[in-house]
Amino acid sequence: MTESIYIKLRVTPEERDLLDAECARLGVDRSKLLRQLVFTHRRARLSRAPGRAPIDRAIERVKRNYDVPRNQIEPLVCAVVAALDPETVSG
């Protein structure tokens, strides 16, 4: 097995938060994500559709914490997701 070399990368706290969010979305650790970003020319190879599960979890959490009916929460959660990541919106 080839020995890995450690490389330091300085980022702002905001950049770290974005990196961590992207890692969570893709289900990979920071090292893997950064390796793929550096050594892959096509970003499409990194993305995977998260499906409906994160939206459903957000809806359930809001419903549980604020006692608001699901039919009122769902459009709001979807609007927030669409505002944060317009690429998730189709059509």
What pLDDT, in 10s, does the model give residues 32-55? 888 888 887 655 555 555 677 888
Q: Is residue 82 part of a domain?
A: yes
State mean pLDDT over 12-36.
89
Structural contact between residues 82 and 72, judged by C-beta atoms closer than 8 angstroms: no
**84 shares a domain with 60:** yes
Distance CA 69, CA 67 (A): 7
- Domain encompassing residue 40: 13-45
How does DSSP assign 27-44, residue by residue? T--HHHHHHHHHH-S-GG
Based on the structure, what is the number of domains in the chain? 2
Q: Is residue 70 part of a domain?
A: yes
pLDDT at 88: 52
Distances (CA, A) of 31 to 7, 20, 53, 75, 90: 10, 11, 25, 35, 31
Q: Is residue 1 part of a domain?
A: no
**Residue 90 binned pLDDT confidence (cut-offs 50, 70, 90):** very low
Q: Is residue 4 part of a domain?
A: no
Q: Whole-model pTM?
A: 0.41
**78 shares a domain with 61:** yes
Token pair, residue 71, equals: 């039919």
pLDDT at 7: 86
**57 shares a domain with 84:** yes
Q: Is residue 76 part of a domain?
A: yes
Does the pLDDT value for residue 74 go beyond 60?
A: yes
Q: Is residue 2 part of a domain?
A: no
pLDDT at 91: 38
**36 shares a domain with 19:** yes
Structural contact between residues 46 and 36, judged by C-beta atoms closer than 8 angstroms: yes
